[in-house]
């Protein structure tokens, strides 16, 4: 479980994994988020991914959930899901979260699935 307190602009936290054999494949990233503070349009946390090339450079901008409120449950764990495709030129795939604004969040039950 991760507990974060953030202040300021958009932040991203990732963990990279080698995915060369899964280039071009579809994926689903799932996780549960508990907001300790009220979610607002300026304060939120969502799942995020980015495909990375063999020089460890991001290929495109990060992909993340468009609207945190779509999944949000007040005072309860909210189940988030992010689906997409791993870039065909990716050597690594970074999975994590995008965070904006002031707040305290918990993240748990993080799961990544690649569809062959």
Which range of residues forms the domain containing residue 35? 2-115
Which CATH number does the domain housing residue 27 bear?
Answer: 2.60.120.260
| pLDDT tens sequence across 76-88 | 999 999 999 999 9
Residues 78, 79, 85, 89: what is their CA dihedral angle, to the nearest 10 degrees? 70
pTM: 0.84
| pLDDT tens sequence across 30-62 | 999 999 988 888 888 999 999 999 999 999 999
Q: What are phi and psi of 20, to 5 degrees?
A: -50, -40
Sign of torsion over alpha carbons 53, 109, 7, 10? positive
Confidence grade of residue 2 (pLDDT, cut at 50, 70, 90): very low
Domain total in the chain: 1
């Amino acid at each position: 479980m991760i507990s974060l307190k953030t202040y300021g602009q958009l932040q991203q936290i990732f963990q990279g994994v080698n995915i060369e054999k899964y280039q071009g494949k579809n994926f689903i990233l799932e996780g549960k988020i508990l907001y300790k503070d009220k979610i607002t349009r300026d304060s939120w946390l969502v799942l995020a991914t980015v495909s990375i090339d063999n020089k460890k450079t991001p290929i495109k901008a990060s992909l993340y959930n468009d609207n945190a409120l779509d999944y949000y449950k007040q005072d309860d764990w909210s189940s988030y899901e992010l689906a997409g495709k791993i870039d065909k030129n990716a050597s690594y795939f970074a999975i994590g979260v995008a965070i904006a604004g002031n707040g305290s969040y918990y993240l748990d039950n993080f799961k990544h699935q690649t569809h062959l």
